[in-house]
Structure 1
């Protein structure tokens, strides 16, 4: 069995990550594609990065950059941060790094620097944290941070009238470029769901682990998915992201 498994936003929830990987029963032949936002929210952001670095040594993993990963990298390099980041998950991460030694921080910086902007497989399936805006696709994106900040791709997929034909001139060009697009970034809890949601060719795997939802892993081929317990139940003394 050679599965391709895509994993939603973790946000410092190491307990959830370990739990859902156990439920999937990952084999050494599986490919794990992480959609980013490994940190910020729950209290174990450094431990999540340690776990992922070790996991890559025994498993084929693809790690995509999320906006929170980019913000953490900036903090670790400069020891400065914006108030907005601090108030939206960054505080727990800043607190969790207080007891982390310099060598480990340098290892984490190297890992964060190595994250991929996106991954396009040999079946023309795109894996990206947030989205893109260029009508010709990711290779032509003029502002690369959109890969981990854009929300318009998902908003467009949600708003698309299902009666509009794929061949119609009204059908969005961005949704014609790739066979499937897998994203995180905007939790499905925003539409009162805690499962992966498919709209047009877009699959949103962020089931709200940063807030009140579980962490999700989905089999790209079969669309079977597995979930952890809801994160507040795994971290009962914490609030997660605000």
Structure 2
């Protein structure tokens, strides 16, 4: 049976991505599910996009849209009507802007096409949901009214952190949106914010963002077995950079 692997937020850290992929034995028929935020933070955002574009030609891949991917797409296309460049720079965009100074126009066009092709979410045949951030509609992702919720929401993660551990799906107070899916896999909010550095599970939600944008590591996890592999801490791989710190 083909396997599925989920990869957390990369944030321009190509060295970390190489490390985790080189640790894992997978076939080309296995599916790699990338949870978004490929860019912003470390210095190799264009190189990360080049690598992912090449990878999809030889590997089964799913690419989910992250909020930083959406921001970079707006910057690259000049769609900046509601875009705050100063704020973007403060949250990893400065490294991305600098890294694009010597990128050819043809390569930028490829990156724009790739970023436009990203999925808001992926629902597999076992009713497992993969998305960058969360969703708010109690009827599920297909009924979400506001598309950016998929890559900006933090309420899903905050909710499961606060959920009474004694509640079960059969309880009246159990959140309805959690009952809709077998499991939910997200990134977006680093688990380092709660003092952890490995994938964390609350209710049926798995958070695979282990802080690669900051002082943490990049994580790749087997969706079925929950075995996971991690890179070195990103500041060790990019000692002359600050990332989003």
Fold-level match, TM-score > 0.5? yes
- Tell me the residue number matched to 1:29: 29
Alignment correspondent of 2:10:
10
Secondary structure in structure 2 of the residue aligned to 1:178? coil
The 5-angstrom pairing of residues 1-242 of structure 1 reads 2-78=2-78, 81-82=83-84, 83-242=86-245
Q: Distance in 2 between matches of 1:4 and 1:89?
A: 29
Residues 162 and 79 (structure 1 numbering): CA distance in 2 closer, same or farther, change over 3 Å? closer
Q: d(CA) in 1 for partners of 2:71 and 2:168? A: 39
Task: State the Cα deviation string for residues 62-96 of structure 1 (Å, max 9, x = none).
Answer: 00000000000000001855211111000000000
- Deviation of residue 30 (structure 1)? 1.5
Quote how far apart the aligned CAs of 1:164 are.
1.5
- What is the CA distance between 1:27 and its match in structure 2? 2.3
State the TM-score, normalizing by the size of structure 1: 0.98
Unaligned ranges ≥5, structure 1? none
| Structure 2 Cα separation of the partners of residues 73 and 29 of structure 1 | 29
SS of equivalent residue, structure 1 residue 100: coil
SS in 1 for 2:148: helix
CA distance, structure 1, for counterparts of residue 27 and residue 87 of structure 2:
39
Superposition RMSD on alpha carbons, in Å? 1.0
Q: Secondary structure at the match of 1:240?
A: coil
Which 5+ residue runs of structure 2 have no aligned equivalent?
Answer: none
Q: Give the Å deviation of 1:6.
A: 0.3
Q: Give the drift of 1:57.
A: 0.5
* Inter-partner Cα distance in structure 2 for 1:235 and 1:25: 26
Q: What is the number of equivalent residue pairs in this alignment?
A: 242
TM-score by length of 2: 0.97
Task: Tell me, in whole angstroms, the C-alpha distance in 2 between the residues paired with 1:122 and 1:19.
Answer: 29
